[in-house]
Structure 1
C-alpha cells in the first residue's frame, strides 16, 4: 500500500524548492488543500523534467510513455502517480486533463518552433491550462462554467513564461515566439536560435504576448468568484504575483534578453496586497461572470474550453452564497 504521507511530504519539498511564487500563495490554503496542490505540482514537475532533463530525445519520450501507461492503469504506478490518480478520482476530475498535459510536454521533446498564435495557445492550454482544470478539483470548484476561467489563468501564466524564458528556451532549441510574428518583423525561428533576431523585434513580440496574457488574466480574475472563499485568496495571490513578471518585463520595454525577469520581494508584497483588496471585493454580491468564448476560439475543441455553447445559469450571483454557507467551501 502506498505511503501517502511520504508522497505528500516529498511533494511539499518539490513545491518549496521549485515554485516560489505558488509556495507563497499556498500559505493562504488549508493544510489539506496545500498537500493536494503539492501532489499536483509534483506530478506536473515530474512530467516536465522527464523531457527537460533527458539525455536524449528517445529516453525522454520513452519515460513520458511510461508515466502515461501508469496513469491509464496499463502499468503498475509509482507512488506519486498512484496518489495523484486517486486525487483525480476523488475530485471527479477527468484524467483527460492530465493526458493533455503529457501531450503538451511531449511536444517539447526535440526542436520546437511554434507556427502562430493558434498553435501557441493550444500549447499553453496543454501544459498549463490543464493544471487549472485539475486545480479546480483541489479547490472544490464545482460549477462547470468555472473551468473556462481556470483555463484562462493557466494560459496567462504560460504566456508569461514564454515571454520570460525566450533566451533559456532558445538554449534548449525551442522557440515559442510564433513564426508568423517573427516573419512580420523580418526574422524567423532559426535566426532567433542563432541570436540574429534584433532585440527590438523580440521585445515587440514579448510586449504583444504580454497583452494577450493580460486578457486571459482579466478573464481569470472575473472567474475567481467561483472558487470557494476560503481558498480564493491563495489563487488571487498566485495570479497577481505571477503577473508581476510581466510588469518587470514591461519595465525593461519588453527586453527578454536582459536577464531572467524576477519580481523583487517588494513587488510581490505589493501584488499580495492588491490580491487582498480584490479578495474583499469578491465577497460582495455580484452577477455571475460570463466568459468570452473568443478567448478560446483556438482551443474550443479541447476539454473544459468554452466552445460558445450557452450554458444554464443556476444562480444570479457567484461567490456570495458561499459566504453564508454553514460549512467551509460549501455551496
Structure 2
C-alpha cells in the first residue's frame, strides 16, 4: 500500500467520527487527526487482499518495532510517535492495536466473549486510552470507561460488517453467542432461513454492546464539558447504528447500515438533552468485572 496515495482524511474515511470531532476544541483537532490517520493506516494494512498478506505482516511488524524504538521514517508512524511523546502515551498502547490488526491476517473465528472483548480492546479500546491522554484525562476509572466505549463501538462495527468480514474469512461473532441453527456461520449470506434464526443472536449481540455503552456513559458524564459533548456525540451516533440495524429487521445482508446527515443531526440534538437529563450512574458490576478481568493481562487499569 502506498501511503502517499491513500486518503486518510477523517471527513472522507470516517464520517461519523469526523462529525463528532467537529465538537472538539480547535487546538486538539490536529492531534486527533494524527491519531486517526495512524489507526486508519494500520487498519487498512489488516484489510489488504489475501495476495498482500505477507507484505502487510512485514509492514505491521516494522511499525511495531518503530514504536518500540520510538523512531520511524514513515510519516504516519512518526506522527503517532510525536503524539505519544507530547501526551506521555506509552507506546505499548498503539503496539497492542498493531497486535490486534496482525491477528486479522490469520483466520478468525472467536470462541467466546473473552476473545471478542480482548480483540476489541486492542483495535478500539486502545484508541480510547490514547484519547484520554490527549484530553489530559489520567484517572484510571475514566480510562476504563474509555476502553469500554471503544469496545462497545467495535461491537457495533462487527455487527454492521458481519457479511463483509465473512468474505475475508473473519468471524468475530463468538461461538458462545451463536444458536444451534447458526453454527454454520459461512452459509449466512445466502441462506434466508439461517438469517432469520441469526436475527435473535444478533439482537443478543447488540444487547451486549448496549450494556457496555451504558457503563461507558458513566465516564462520559464525568468529562469536562469541552470533551463531554464530542465523546457523547460519537458514542450516541455509533450506538444508533445498532438501533438502525434493529429497525431494519436485522437486514445487514442486502445493505450497509449507516446514519445519513439528517439522522446524525437529529441524534446530536438528542445527545444534548441526554447530557442534561441522563446523569444517573449505570451500575453493571458483572460487566465491569468481566472487562476488567480480561484486561488485567495488559496491566492498564
TM-score with structure 2 length normalisation? 0.88
1:78 and 2:74 aligned:
yes
Q: 1:291 to 1:300 in 2, by over 3 A?
A: farther
Stretches of structure 1 that go unaligned for 5 or more consecutive residues are: 1-6, 307-331
- Describe the shift of the 1:197–1:150 C-alpha distance in structure 2 as closer, same or farther (beyond 3 A): farther
User: 1:148, 1:304 within 8 Å by CA — same for their partners in 2?
Assistant: no
How many pairs align?
295
Shift of 1:72: 1.2
Are residue 30 (structure 1) and residue 36 (structure 2) matched? no
- The Cα shift of 1:242 comes to 1.1
CA spacing shift, 1:190–1:278, aligned 2, 3 Å: closer
User: Could you tell me which residue of structure 2 aligns to residue 146 of structure 1?
Assistant: 142
Q: How does 1:176-255 map to 2 (within 5 A)?
A: 176-182=172-178, 184-192=180-188, 198-255=194-251
SS at 2:88 equivalent: coil
Task: Return the match for 2:161 from 150, 160, 165.
Answer: 165
Q: Shift of residue 75 of structure 1?
A: 5.7
Distance in 2, matches of 1:193 and 1:164, equals 13
Alignment of 1:35-184 (within 5 A): 35-54=30-49, 55-73=51-69, 76-182=72-178, 184=180
Matched, 1:14 2:12: no
Gaps of 5+ in 2: none
- Cα distance per residue 1:69-121 (max 9 Å; x no partner): 11112763322222211211221222221111111111100321111111111
Larger radius of gyration: 1
Is the CA contact (8 Å cut-off) linking 1:12 and 1:38 kept in structure 2? no
Shift of 1:278: 2.8
Q: Give the drift of 1:149.
A: 0.3
Q: CA RMSD in A?
A: 2.7
* In 2, Cα distance between equivalents of 1:119 and 1:297: 13
Could you list the runs of 4 or more consecutive aligned residues of structure 1 that deviate by over 6 angstroms after TM superposition?
none
Larger mean Cα displacement after TM superposition, 163-172 or 257-266: 257-266
Q: Return the TM-score normalized by structure 1.
A: 0.81
* Deviation readout 1:260-293 (Å, 9 max, x if unpaired): 11123332122101211233358x8x88x87833
Q: C-alpha separation between the residues in 2 aligned to 1:115 and 1:297? A: 19
1:31 and 1:304, CA in 2 relative to 1: closer, same or farther beyond 3 A?
farther
| Segment of structure 1 superposing worse, 221-230 or 143-152 | 221-230
**Aligned equivalents of 1:128, 1:154: Cα separation in 2:** 5
